[in-house]
Amino acid sequence: MLEIRPNCENCCKDLPNDSTEAMICTFECTFCKTCVETILENVCPNCCGGFEKRPTRPKKLLKKHPTRQQSYFQPINLEKFEVLKQKIKATKPEER
């Protein structure tokens, strides 16, 4: 079951369960759509995978299966990430 993390790992933007801006990779690293498109360019800095829109948990299930409340904030080291990103961004996520 997804944790549904509450914020962007890079800029700390709030990404509640019903956010249409939340993007995740296969390991559930969570970033806002702006960071994914403008900084990450669809390359996860943690696993090098791509991103998809995070699904929302139905409201009727939130009480039984709450979303994660603890924030996760780990800004990207842009210099280090840029080297990695340049090597792989041209390769489709499903081919990395």
**What is the tens place of the pLDDT at every residue in 42-71?**
999 999 999 999 999 999 999 999 999 999
Q: How confident is the model at residue 31 (pLDDT cuts 50, 70, 90)?
A: very high
pLDDT of 87 reads: 94
pLDDT of 40 reads: 97
CA proximity to 54, closest of 29, 24, 32, 28: 24
pLDDT of 85 reads: 96
22: phi then psi, degrees, rounded to nearest 5: -80, 130
- Stated pTM of the model: 0.92
